[in-house]
Amino acid sequence: MTDRANGFEAELSKAYAGADLLLELNLSPQQYTCAREHLGALMDEVPAGAHIALLMRFPALTIAGLVGHATLRSTAPEVGFWDGFWASIGRDRDKSFEEILDQLFGDMLGQFGLRDVEGLRETSVVPLLELHAGLNAETVGALVTAIERHVAAGHEPRGTAILDRVTEPGFAHRRAELPAAYWMLLQHSPAVAVGVLNRITELLVATVAHPEAWSPEAVTPTTADLPATVLRAVVERLAHTPFLGGDPAAAALCTAGFPQLRFHASDGEIRVVIPGGETDALWRVWNGEAPEQVSVPAGESAALPIAVAVRESVLVNLDSGVRRVVPIFHPADPVVVFGADGRVVSRFEPLPAAEVTVLVPRDADFTSGTRKKIAVVDHRPAPWDGWELRVLDLAGHRELLLKRDGKPGRTRRVLPVETPAYALPDAIAGIATRGGEPVYGERPLVDLPVHEGEGTKEWRVRVRRAGDREWLVDYPWASADYVTSADPFDGLDEPLVGRYEIAAGDSYGLDLRLTVTIAEGLDATHDPAIRLPQADGLTTSTTELVSTTDLTIDDAALDFGPDDIERNVTVGSGEAELALTVRPPHAEIRFEHPGVPAVWQTELPEIGIVAPAAGHLTVRIPGAIDVSFALLDADGDIVREWEAEAHAGTEFTISTRTVVDAAKRLLRGSLVALIEEESGDSDEAEVALVVRTAAVVEPNAVDHTGDALTAAWLRLDALQAEEVEAPAPEAAPMEAVDAPVDDLLIADPTASLVALGDSPVAPSRIPALLIRSGLAERVFDIPAEYVATHPNPYVGCTLATGAVVDPQAPHRDDLQSYLASRGGEDLLRLIASGRMSDPRTGVFDRNVLAVDAMAPDQVDALFERFRIVPGPLVDLDMRTAATISAFHRRSEWMTDPVGLAAPLYINKTLRDVRRASPELYDLIAARNEALDGVDTITNPWMLLSMQSLAFAALGRLQAYGRLKQPVLDGEARAMWAKLADYCPAMVAADLLIANAVVVRADALDKVRAAKQ
């Protein structure tokens, strides 16, 4: 027995070299069992009590036998680790052996360079053994169950997506979805933990997406890239219950793909790409502004730009009701990291020790674990106001940490310098797969680093077609004394055609994956480079596809007419074919005005002079670095020129009111964009027709409306815009601005509120519409099983407030976390106690009065940080941003007759508020206290914060019948709505505050009544 053990000891000692955890050695269950049996047999051959001699003679075997038991054993609480171990080797328990092992185990691990964590063996060596074991069968089974629930709930089927979701700040209860043993592995060996979870998830998805190739019985540790013990546990779980259990909706996620956030370096845009399914689909997408509807043809894709800072993109399939959420950033950690291929890099994925592109607020800084400053190689404005795109060089750094306003974000690991890196060629411009992925005409390379240690360092580089089980290339590459650019496809004949998965690394902990689509030798020439708008559509263009290899192209010369946006082609080599979409870069126009859904279009919109629609016109021109606008008369002469009023990436905006004011004397004309391109060239393009009377689009005639409620909201939106744009009368007879309740919009308050949130109405106009319709004075009945959260955070928080006050509400933890993360901790505090941490902050006070004499640009610069990163609606930063927005409208409010009448009305009704709700009255009084020392006679606009909350209090108290008699009539409603026109963010936040207090009071009354 000793002779056989000597051979096993030597074999294991050699295998341990360079390893960190035994999990990485990929020992089979048979090897672990053998090691445990050998250890038991050796105990029979040594004298009793000679434990030190045994441990010193056979340390490698002892480690493997004990870790093997931790891997193979059942974790049932009734069977302890040591009881199970001694039983498995057929010996009585020997506590003296356990005590000696506790003392020597750290040294034994150190002898082989294996991981020792002193904190895990302070009282027992068992936790450290379990760390080296990694994941036993029960832990793997729990992980498979967690992955299954994650996918079945409609989340992205990717390991890092699971980690991103369960660690979202504010949702601590989600951590229980993953087993404790996995969290321990993630804490002490994050690279291994993340890699294994990714591989398990990919295997499970493959069994659904490609059931024949990836049948559990056909998978091996090499093809699945999983430790043998982990793979066996996964296969046993699948043999018992197939992944997703035949759930067709969840299975679609494994085949059709999940929406992805991508950065397009060519034009600096951030887009969400929606993959197509088996049938045509209509999606409603919330990207921070009014929701848009987009049609996605079967088997193809669509991409929508994200032009404002938003923490997540929410997509709802209007045919099936399926909902997808693409996380973008968290307010406490406002940074998005992009890989070389434009995809988002999860914070659980290690960053290369090289250059990376990050999207951050411009007032943010980065730190690392070294004193060396992180170098900013390049930076440029981002598509989001107040943000920028930076290229950081992470060479020589261990981690990346964002700091903003002195507050740290979440730490991201940086790979060691001695790590392979992928070198991607430029993607082919204007060419993509039908699923929206970039296409490369050349092979990517793997840069293998210089090895600075002793001996030769070998890297394993593999390639296979995405979805296939077997590797086409599995080749070891040795590092040299210079960086080696290795062709991962070495040995494969050109041209490569299709989607390929590349893996480079040396272990489960350093396993770098890249999936790319290649059409080797393909290139495209677009003439012109950018298609611009014209009267009948886009300028005509030609795209010529060429190949420097034997690639076949079914249609190499493509002509695009004014109405053509994209064409489909197929390229191939032998039996391999690749379906591509050719979409020459082109400009788009968006005319946003009340009452009509705003969509990106290529046709020229009409701006009416006689009956203008207040709104904004935005042009998006790829490659443009600056755009100004000019109004031309019918003869083509310039009437007036303007700089863009807003600029985000390649999007440039002008107010249509500005254009109309300059066109009063024209019969007709046109608005032209003057374009400055990255190349230094300039161009111009017509972007709108200016006419006396524009064609009117009826809301109920637009495909996007969907139902009567949405059409009614759009009609009210258009009517509201007319009232806002109409000049205020010199005298202000309040009956002239009376706002009657809209019976259709209040018949079912909850359905109406959801319809408003789903409608293409700009979020900034929603508070005034709520008030004008009378919906702000209605109770929202929450369904008994309410668990959903609306993509519009105001709508979502309003409904969640009504649901969470019920102690028996299902998924109450999720509701509370949603309210905290989307509404704010103060909103939760209001629901729980009726109070705020400090109601005098974030409102008009002496500090605001101090900036009264400053120019608007100076004020914006002073308070910029409050508005750059959108946070919870009721938190201090957002309330401060709302106050500054209201500050900029103070003069307009005071020149409006309603602004003079509102204070008189509020003073008369405060007694009603005090009688009905002392809590709300205290909140209003606190805002009055914040004005101590302020002359409100000279500066009556300083009362805006107090008036806004008072109106909200009256509306919500009246909704619940808590006033002795109704005091909010059509006249007062009109004043409140006018305040919302000027200060929408302030009014929205105050409605949430007042609603929380009143809903709480109503819930307490119901509890008291039930006890009587």
The two tokens of residue 364 are 């943010």
The pTM of the full predicted model, rounded to 2 decimals, is: 0.91
The pLDDT value given to residue 696: 60
Write phi, then psi, for 590 (nearest 5 degrees).
Answer: -130, 120
pLDDT tens-digit map of 27-68:
889 999 999 999 999 988 888 778 899 999 999 999 999 999
Does residue 161 register a pLDDT over 90? yes
The pLDDT value given to residue 598: 81
The pLDDT value given to residue 1: 59
The pLDDT value given to residue 597: 80
Note whether 465 and 498 are within 8 A (CB): yes
pLDDT tens-digit map of 818-859:
999 999 999 999 999 999 999 999 999 998 888 888 888 888
Does residue 702 register a pLDDT over 50? no
Write phi, then psi, for 808 (nearest 5 degrees).
Answer: -95, 5
- Which pLDDT band holds residue 731 (cuts at 50, 70, 90)? very low
Q: Of 199-208, 692-701, 853-862, 933-942, which has the strongest mean pLDDT?
A: 199-208
The residue-averaged pLDDT of 186-214 equals 94
The residue-averaged pLDDT of 243-270 equals 87
pLDDT tens-digit map of 472-526:
999 999 988 889 999 999 999 999 999 999 999 988 888 899 999 999 999 999 9
If you ran DSSP here, which 8-state letter would residue 18 be given? T
The residue-averaged pLDDT of 976-990 equals 96
Does residue 701 register a pLDDT over 70? no
Write phi, then psi, for 668 (nearest 5 degrees).
Answer: -160, 165
Q: Of 70-79, 160-169, 731-740, which has the strongest mean pLDDT?
A: 160-169
- Which pLDDT band holds residue 699 (cuts at 50, 70, 90)? very low
The residue-averaged pLDDT of 259-286 equals 91
Q: Is 864 exposed, middle or buried (0-12, 13-18, 19+ CB in 10 A)?
A: middle
- CA 944 to chain CA mean position, Å: 35
The pLDDT value given to residue 733: 44
Does residue 704 register a pLDDT over 50? no
- Which pLDDT band holds residue 943 (cuts at 50, 70, 90)? very high
The residue-averaged pLDDT of 940-959 equals 96
Note whether 68 and 132 are within 8 A (CB): no
Write phi, then psi, for 50 (nearest 5 degrees).
Answer: -85, 50
Does residue 862 register a pLDDT over 90? no
Does residue 638 register a pLDDT over 60? yes
3-state helix, strand, coil in the chain (%, to 5): 40, 25, 35
Residue 701 has, within 13 A of its CA and on its CB side, a CA count of: 4
Note whether 274 and 315 are within 8 A (CB): yes
pLDDT tens-digit map of 220-233:
999 999 999 999 99
Task: Give the separation between CA 382 and CA 269, rounded to whole angstroms.
Answer: 8
- Within 10 Å of residue 279's Cβ, how many Cβ atoms? 11
- Which pLDDT band holds residue 647 (cuts at 50, 70, 90)? confident
pLDDT tens-digit map of 320-330:
889 999 999 99
If we measure between CA atoms, which residue out of 259, 266, 261, 285 comes closest to residue 650?
266
Averaged pLDDT of the chain: 90
The pLDDT value given to residue 735: 44
The pLDDT value given to residue 267: 79
pLDDT tens-digit map of 584-594:
999 999 998 88
Write phi, then psi, for 485 (nearest 5 degrees).
Answer: -90, 100
Amino acid sitting at position 169: P
- Which pLDDT band holds residue 734 (cuts at 50, 70, 90)? very low
- Within 10 Å of residue 583's Cβ, how many Cβ atoms? 20
Listed range (127-136, 638-647, 857-866, 969-978) with the worst mean pLDDT: 857-866
Note whether 964 and 912 are within 8 A (CB): yes
The pLDDT value given to residue 133: 92
The pLDDT value given to residue 387: 94
The residue-averaged pLDDT of 333-347 equals 94
The residue-averaged pLDDT of 85-105 equals 92
Write phi, then psi, for 199 (nearest 5 degrees).
Answer: -65, -40
Does residue 539 register a pLDDT over 90? yes
If you ran DSSP here, which 8-state letter would residue 28 be given? -
Task: Give the separation between CA 781 and CA 758, rounded to whole angstroms.
Answer: 18
The two tokens of residue 338 are 């992009």
- Within 10 Å of residue 888's Cβ, how many Cβ atoms? 13
Does residue 676 register a pLDDT over 80? yes
pLDDT tens-digit map of 380-405:
889 898 999 999 999 889 999 999 98
The residue-averaged pLDDT of 976-993 equals 96
Listed range (199-203, 599-603, 611-615, 951-955) with the worst mean pLDDT: 611-615
CB neighbour burial string for 636-654, b if at least 16 within 10 angstroms, e if fewer: eeeeeebebeebbbbbbbb
pLDDT tens-digit map of 102-125:
999 999 999 999 999 999 998 999
The two tokens of residue 91 are 């010996």
The two tokens of residue 148 are 């299954």
Task: Give the separation between CA 275 and CA 394, rounded to whole angstroms.
Answer: 33
Q: Which tops the pLDDT comparison, 722 or 848?
A: 848
HEC sequence for 554-598: CCCEEEECCCCCCEEEEEEECCEEEEEEECCCECEEEEEECCECC
